[in-house]
Amino acid sequence: MLTRDYVADRLVYQGRLHEQSLLYLDASIGRWIYRNPCATCITGIAPTVELHYTTTMEDTATVGGFSNPFNRMDVLDLTAGVHVQLGARNMLSVAGVAPLRQDEEKLFDAEIQLQYNRYF
């Protein structure tokens, strides 16, 4: 993304703004607590817990007075949910997500996820 200032009807080049590189670290654990491939509807249930961490890898750049006001960010979230296998080729997943930081790096209050996959 290029930033430019308008000065007396001409553009003045201010520089090139680059996004910060991000590092994602995720850890999860889960276990099948019910498996029955012969069942007619629910063939499996697996609760899971996940920890998601995102951090910036470098300081922010300032171009034309525009930059990330927080400079570096560290985001930590906890996800807990359940995967329900429906038949042999369908999976319904429901989860709740909560941020574990309470400062300016808290990006949201809570989140609910609903996902359906059909395998071919």
End-to-end Cα spacing for the chain: 40
Confidence check: pLDDT of 6 > 70: no
φ, ψ for residue 58, nearest 5 deg:
-150, 165
9, 10, 12 from 6: Cα distances, Å: 6, 6, 6
pTM for this prediction: 0.72
pLDDT by residue (tens digit) across 26-82? 999 999 999 999 998 999 999 999 999 999 888 877 777 777 677 778 889 999 999
Domain boundaries, the chain: 20-118
Task: Return the ∠ at Cα 67 (arms to 20 and 51), rounded to 5°.
Answer: 45
